[in-house]
Structure 1
Amino acid sequence: MDDIRILEPDGLDGLIAELRRRGYRVVGPSVRGDAIVTGDIHAAADLPKGVGDEQEAGTYRLRQRDDDAYFGFADPAQSTKPVFFPAEEVVWRGRREEGHFTVERDTPDAPPIALLGVRSCDLRAVEIHDAVLADRPFHDAHYIARRDGTFTVAVACGEPAATCFCASMGTGPRPAATNPETQEPAYDLLLTEVMVPEHRFVLEVGTEAGREVADAIATTPAGEEAQQAAIDVTDQAAARQTRSINTDTIHDVLQASAESPRWDDVASRCLACTNCTLVCPTCFCTTIQDTSDLAGDNAERHRVWDSCFSENFSYIHGGPLRGDVKARYRQWITHKLSSWEDQFGMLGCVGCGRCIAWCPVGIDITEEAAALGRMATAASST
């Protein structure tokens, strides 16, 4: 849609109020403690105004900016994944009464979500979860119940962290207008925060639903000049990224690297703490926990996030298939950057860099991919 407008910074309150008036639960970035997290947004004051972040391998810190940017940070500590796919949820409840045992399936019953400020990498991660959890024959009913009716206000990223590599993955910093798998619009509204020569938001309409919301708030018409200013913001952000993965070669590199000595090197550093999978916006592995009360009259089945770095994750009768850290790291990165493509037709990494920032020992997925590539090339030339 060729509908471009200007939204003044003080118009954010009007946007949030309009979304809430339409019955949406507005979810976006907010400062909690020493991190920017994804949570409920009731007004613009809940957004991280004037707050930036510094991320490096094994490092995450907030900093005070010298301006009033509302989205002047790279990405929240956690993505939007828990909004639609929570870390723990009840699948069913059972109760025994008078000799009978009844089971009641738990179904989410909550207002539709309006994502505010979702970054391009995280928006792509939601699309990947749509394909994995909602678009296959055996779909995730709980995910679909939370995901249905979502209104998306994406925000183009102008402040990449040192850990970001979305440009090389083709997932940002500016979100694609359409989902590459479904060709459906990827967002209802797209905001780009422009700080020079004056603080304003370039608003681009992506859907008719987005147009209805834009028509209901205070905006002014704009044209190609404003859109180009928005594009310049994300072009400059992409140019500042220093990390990358070669997506043209990584699939075959990993397929050829099953016995690479690099796995021993990374295993000597990896703690198998599961941090990388917990902050990853696309990881979706879960396990089941059953609980009951002491009387045995009430029982619940819970679904909780799991990780392929856990020893019990690959357990079958007799023991785990991947009993050492070497095998678990190889499984994780190979699935993320190679076999995920074989399985789902896309890569399982969006370049957000969270696995790098939140790794206690600073293991860098881009560094490991590059090292494996160099070793595979050397092995093939001998």
Structure 2
Amino acid sequence: MGDIRILRPSGLDALITELRSRGFRVVGPTPRGDAIVTGEIRSASDLPQGVGDSQDAATYRLRERGDDAYFGFAAPAQSSKPVFFPAEEVVWRGRRDHERDGHFTVERDIPDSAPIALLGVRSCDLRAVQIHDQVLAGRTHIDAHYVDRRDGTFVVAVACADPAASCFCASMGTGPRPAQTDPQTGAASYDLLLTEILADGDHRFILEVGTDRGRSLADAIATSAGDDADRAAAIAVTDAAAAKQTRAVDAAHVHDVLRASAESPRWEDVASRCLACTNCTLVCPTCFCTTVQDVSDLTGDHAARHRVWDSCFSENFSYIHGGPTRESTKARYRQWITHKLSAWEDQFGMLGCVGCGRCITWCPAGIDITEEAAALGRMATAAGAIGAVG
């Protein structure tokens, strides 16, 4: 048995206070307007206590749960991605020094150095961060700003008990319970794992220690000893959550399905519905496409280069030598889903989708990646392009 403890809801404030006292900026789910977003957490009162969500194709609504659950929702509207990989950031700033004959000085912009504590991060979003670790920090040319922000992250993961109708993490092997280690690197996935239990009037968190520094923090707050029965109760919560999920991707075969479907008539069908609005890519926790924008003031004395998120659904994204290489919505949708569910595996050794379902929820046309993948599989099988798939 691992190190298992019981944390009472009143101990959440102590947990947050202890993290902040150790120099961490605590980031987690918080209600803002009509959505649960990822933002700074200063106390337990910032968490979405008693708030749930209803998500389905083109549908997102908050709802009152009628209980005191702090993490009784499926996932925030946006993932943890912007914490380490913001939608817009300054790469460098330049200024003209008139005292030095107009010499132009360029300085790299330095991100805030405060380490991050992710509180309440879901398994799907945690897996997405691990994917970005490989894509942005694990190759020959690293993203220096990402590495600066990601360095020293403390992770307090929360197992998911209430998946949305749009969720399909169970079929992707990315949740609802986070893996103990990163499948690519073997490093610990989390420092602490919480599973919220509300049963028979007893509200508690089963706390599982994942690292030595997680143990150090757990030792500093009030907890009681847990046992094998508590861990079994935690696993039962996520097993039940997985059983609730009705959407799925056939992860074992989807790579080959997409490779065999380059000329499928399904692309015309989905293009007739797709608005190329870029919503799916902007809420996706693994998309990392960017462009740069250079700006200067009216005097020409100050300039800056900004890196901003871009999308493969944008016509200009593939603009090369006088025109876009993917002119049609059909070509752009095919590029997106084929990269996510096939070429990403060729490129990085894993699929680029974690089953969070945000692309389904936030698509105004209600296009469902799981149904598109299934339809492509059926058509490829019928055409004899691949063998029968599940």
CA apart distance, 1:109: 2.7
Q: How does 1:67-82 map to 2 (within 5 A)?
A: 67-82=67-82
The residue type equivalent to 1:290 in the other structure is D
Cα distance in 1 for residues equivalent to 2:291 and 2:64:
40
Corresponding position: 1:137 with 2:140: yes
- Name the SS of the counterpart of 2:364 in structure 1: coil
Q: Which residue is 2:93 aligned to? A: 93
- In the alignment, does 2:193 pair up with 1:190? yes
**Distance (whole Å) between structure 1 residues aligned to residue 87 and residue 105 of structure 2:** 26
Letter in 2 for 1:328: R
User: Residue 381 of structure 1: CA displacement?
Assistant: 7.3
Please give the per-residue CA displacement for 1:159-186, whole angstroms capped at 9, x wherever unaligned. 0000000000000000000000110100
Partner of 1:340, secondary structure, is helix
Alpha-carbon displacement from aligned partner over 1:103-158 (angstroms, at most 9, x marks no partner): 00111133100000000000000000000000101000000000001000000000
| Aligned positions of 1:349-364 closer than 5 A | 349-364=353-368
**Aligned residue among 128, 143, 148 for 1:125:** 128
Q: Which runs of 5+ in 2 are unaligned?
A: none
Structure-2 separation of matches of 1:105 and 1:158: 43
- State the 1:348 CA deviation: 0.3
Return closer, same or farther for 1:381/1:136 CA change in 2, 3 Å cut-off: closer
The 5 A counterparts of 1:169-180 are 169-180=172-183
Gaps of 5+ in 1: none
Q: Secondary structure at the match of 1:380?
A: coil
Structure-1 residue corresponding to 2:46: 46
1:23 aligned partner:
23
Letter paired with 2:284? C
Structure 1 residue 259: Cα displacement: 0.3
Structure 1 distance, partners of 2:97, 2:182, is 49
- Is the counterpart of residue 298 in structure 1 residue 302 in structure 2? yes
2:106 paired residue number:
103
Equivalence for 2:115: 112
Q: Moved runs in structure 1, 4+ residues, more than 2 A?
A: none
Residues 1:374 and 2:378 aligned together? yes
* Paired AA for residue 87 in structure 1: A
2:260–2:385 CA contact under 8 A, matched in 1: no
**Alignment deviations for residues 217-271 of structure 1 (CA, whole Å, 9 cap, x no partner):** 0000011000000000000000000000001110000000000000000000000
Q: Secondary structure of 2:383's partner?
A: helix
Distance in 2 between the 1:352 and 1:188 partners? 22
2:157 counterpart letter in structure 1: A
Secondary structure of 2:291's aligned partner:
strand
Distance 2:41 2:300 in 1: 41
Partner of 1:339: 343
User: Secondary structure of the equivalent of 2:208?
Assistant: strand
Normalising by structure 1, we get a TM-score of 0.99
Question: For the residues of structure 1 that align with 2:273 and 2:174, how far apart are their CA atoms?
Answer: 29
For 2:185 and 2:222, locate their aligned partners in 1 and report how far apart those are by CA, in whole Å: 32
How far apart in 2 are the matches of 1:366 and 1:292?
Answer: 44
Classify the secondary structure of the residue corresponding to 1:136. Answer: coil
1:275 pairs with 2:265: no
Partners of 2:105 and 2:13 in 1: how far apart?
47
Once the two structures are aligned, what percentage of the paired residues are identical?
76
CA deviation map 1:33-64 (0-9, x unaligned): 00000000000000000000000100000000
The answer for the alignment partner of 1:205 in structure 2 is 209
Q: Which amino acid aligns with 2:28?
A: G
Residue of 217, 226, 232 corresponding to 2:230 = 226
Give the Cα–Cα distance (whole angstroms) in 1 for the partners of residues 252 and 188 of structure 2: 26
Cα separation, 1, equivalents of 2:66 and 2:94: 55
1:153 aligns with 2:156: yes
Q: Secondary structure at the match of 2:184?
A: coil
1:295 deviates by: 1.0
Give secondary structure in 1 for the equivalent of 2:89. Answer: strand
Which structure 2 residues correspond to residues 308-319 of structure 1 after superposition, within 5 A? 308-319=312-323
Structure 1 Cα separation of the partners of residues 279 and 357 of structure 2: 12
The alignment of Structure 1 onto Structure 2 pairs a total of residues equal to 382
Q: Secondary structure at the match of 2:129?
A: helix
SS in 1 for 2:20: helix
TM-score calculated relative to the size of structure 2 = 0.97
